[in-house]
């Protein structure tokens, strides 16, 4: 059974007489233990969607189910209990500026019980160590870098041992290095604790680096949902195509179009294997790489090349590539 399920969700905001559909007819599910991305342009409804999960927003129509429970059926007390099982982090961190890093993490526990015991204090220290901030426990947020603040926020979100961590643009206020650090931490928590991570972003690169699956939102509608590899390399919607385009190699300027142009995509061991060299072994072709990228989806390496293959044995080479697990498509 899926952990989080959206069923025909619609959300309409009415502000000062004007109403706006932030979400229309959105249905999909997030599985337990996956890192799930929600991507879309600004204003496409990503934040609204993720905030439905812990009921910071309520849907106008449709249902949100967590572990099969319809959130609409929860009484206020149960809602508070639910929220304790859902961690959430924000672009702007949301740390209390009047409390130290340590006190911010302890805050999550204090809300459930006013007097913390020795075990709770140990837990707070463990959490700070886990996010790599053991040495900064007594600093105030103003004394921490953006990346460190987000780590404190993550430690705080984990304090009540949630099953799900919701992240609304967790790295959008961070520089490249801090972004990498926070994404690595999220991936590690997913791996080590089996934490289900839902991450909202407008950057396909974030999705590429840590997500298993992704939903693409376009003006409040679900454009597509699927494995990252599929959404990135074989997008079905214009929204997904335009969000992922800048990650894909393009032929360099000045090479002109060619009828021989192909797009090769391959994953996993094919990357380090002999597929490319073996395919051209003894074949009468001209094989030239125009552009390419070898990188990784989460921890799966992939290669993505734009090549021209011309010559009498072109068909043979294509067949050999496909036999060795390389996807071959025409690239105009």
Partner 1 sequence: MNDLALFFSNIDPGEIALASWETVAMLIGSLALSVALGLPLGVWLSMTSPTGLAPNRLTYGLLSLVVNVLRSIPFVILFILLIPVTLALVGTSLGVRGAIPPLVLGAAPFFARLVETALREVDRSVVEATQALGASKRQIVLHTLLPEAMPSLIAAVTVTAIALVSYTAMAGVVGAGGLGDLAVRYGYQRFQTDVMVVTVALIIVLVQGLQMFGDALVARFHKR
Ligand X SMILES: Nc1ncnc2c1ncn2[C@@H]1O[C@H](COP(=O)(O)OP(=O)(O)OP(=O)(O)O)[C@@H](O)[C@H]1O
91 interacts with partner 1 by CB under 8 A: yes
Residue 97 Cβ vs partner 1, minimum distance, rounded to whole Å: 5
Q: Give the sign of the dihedral formed by CA 229, CA 231, CA 232, CA 236.
A: positive
Question: By three-state DSSP, how is residue 99 classified?
Answer: coil
For the bound state, the minimum distance from the C-beta of residue 240 to ligand X, rounded and expressed in Å, comes to: 15
Nearest CA to 82 out of 61, 98, 107, 64 is that of 64
Beta partners for 287?
Answer: 309
Interface contacts to Mg ion, rule CB under 5 A: 47
Residue 95 site contact among ligand X, partner 1, Mg ion, none (CB < 5 to 8 Å, cut-off depends on kind): partner 1
Candidates 46, 40, 45, 51; CA nearest to 12 is: 45
Position among 88, 204, 216, 262 found at the interface with partner 1 (CB under 8 A): 88
**Residue 22 or 243 with smaller CB distance to ligand X:** 22
Stretch that binds ligand X, among 42-50, 68-76, 302-310, 323-331 (CB under 6 A): 42-50
Nearer to Mg ion, 47 or 171 (CB): 47
Q: Is 285 in the site for partner 1 (CB under 8 A)?
A: no
Check if the beta carbon of residue 134 is closer than 8 Å to that of residue 98.
no
Site for ligand X in 184-213 (CB under 6 A): 202
Q: Which of ligand X, Mg ion, partner 1, none does residue 88 bind to, with CB < 5 to 8 Å depending on kind?
A: partner 1
Q: CA angle at residue 70 from 67 to 71, to 5 degrees? A: 100
Site for partner 1 in 150-169 (CB under 8 A): 153, 156-157, 160, 166
For position 13 contacting ligand X by CB under 6 A, the verdict is yes
Q: Which two tokens stand for residue 46?
A: 């990503």
Separation of CA 124 from chain center: 27
Say whether residue 108 binds partner 1 (CB under 8 A).
Answer: yes
The enclosing H or E element of 192 equals: helix 176-193
Q: Are 168 and 39 spatial neighbours (Cβ–Cβ below 8 Å)?
A: no
Is residue 233 a contact point for partner 1 (CB under 8 A)? no
List the beta bridge partners of residue 223.
none
Q: At which residue do the structure tokens 């990498």 appear?
A: 180
Cα torsion through 36, 37, 43, 47, rounded to 10: 40
Q: HSE on the CB side for 211, CA within 13 Å?
A: 28
**Closer Cβ to ligand X, 13 or 117, answer by number:** 13
Cβ neighbours of 163 (radius 10 Å)? 17
Minimum CB distance to ligand X, residue 49 (Å): 7
Say whether residue 46 binds ligand X (CB under 6 A).
yes
Can residue 43 be called a binding residue for ligand X (CB under 6 A)? yes
CB 21, min distance to ligand X, A: 8
CB of 85 to partner 1, least distance (A): 9
Residue with tokens 């009415």: 14
Sheet bearing 35-40, strands edge to edge: 86-90, 164-168, 196-201, 35-40, 213-218, 221-227
In angstroms, give the least distance from the CB of 174 to ligand X: 15
Asked if 63 interacts with partner 1 (CB under 8 A), we say: no
Q: What are phi and psi of 290, to 5 degrees?
A: -95, -30
Q: What SS3 string covers 126-144?
A: HHHHHCCCHHHCCCCHHHC
What character string, x for contact with partner 1 (CB under 8 A) and - otherwise, covers 7-46?
A: ----------------------------------------
The smaller minimum CB distance to partner 1, of residues 99 and 298, is found at 99
45 contact, one of ligand X, Mg ion, partner 1, none, CB 5-8 Å limit per kind: ligand X
Rule CB under 8 A: which residues touch partner 1?
Answer: 54, 56, 80-84, 86-99, 107-108, 110-112, 140-142, 153, 156-157, 160, 166
């Amino acid at each position: 059974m899926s952990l989080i399920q959206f069923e025909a969700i619609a959300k309409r905001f009415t502000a000062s007489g004007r109403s706006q559909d932030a979400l229309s007819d959105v249905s999909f599910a997030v599985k337990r233990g996956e890192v799930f991305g929600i991507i879309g342009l600004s204003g496409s409804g990503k934040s609204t969607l993720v905030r439905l999960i812990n009921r910071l927003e309520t849907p106008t129509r449709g249902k949100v189910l967590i572990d099969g429970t319809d959130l609409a059926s929860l009484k206020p007390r149960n809602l508070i209990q639910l929220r304790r099982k859902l961690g959430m982090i924000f672009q702007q961190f949301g740390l209390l500026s009047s409390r130290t890093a340590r006190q911010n993490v302890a805050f999550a526990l204090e809300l459930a019980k006013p007097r913390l015991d020795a075990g709770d204090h140990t837990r707070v220290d463990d959490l700070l160590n886990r996010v790599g901030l053991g040495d900064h426990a007594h600093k105030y947020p103003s004394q921490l870098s953006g990346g460190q603040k987000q780590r404190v926020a993550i430690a705080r979100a984990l304090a009540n041992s949630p099953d799900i961590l919701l992240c609304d643009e967790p790295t959008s206020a961070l520089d490249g290095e801090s972004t990498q650090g926070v994404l690595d931490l999220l991936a590690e928590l997913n791996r080590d604790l089996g934490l289900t991570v839902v991450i909202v972003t407008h950057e396909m690169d974030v999705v590429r680096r840590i997500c298993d699956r992704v939903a693409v939102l376009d003006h409040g509608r679900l454009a597509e949902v699927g494995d990252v590899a599929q959404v990135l390399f074989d997008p079905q919607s214009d929204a997904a195509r335009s969000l992922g385009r800048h990650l894909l190699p393009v032929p360099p300027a000045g090479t002109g179009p060619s009828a021989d142009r192909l797009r090769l995509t391959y994953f996993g061991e094919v990357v380090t294997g002999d597929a490319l060299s073996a395919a051209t072994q003894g074949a009468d072709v001209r094989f030239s790489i125009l552009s390419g990228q070898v990188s990784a989806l989460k921890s799966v390496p992939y290669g993505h090349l734009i090549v021209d293959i011309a010559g009498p044995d072109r068909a043979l080479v294509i067949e050999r590539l496909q036999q060795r697990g390389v996807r071959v498509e025409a690239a105009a």
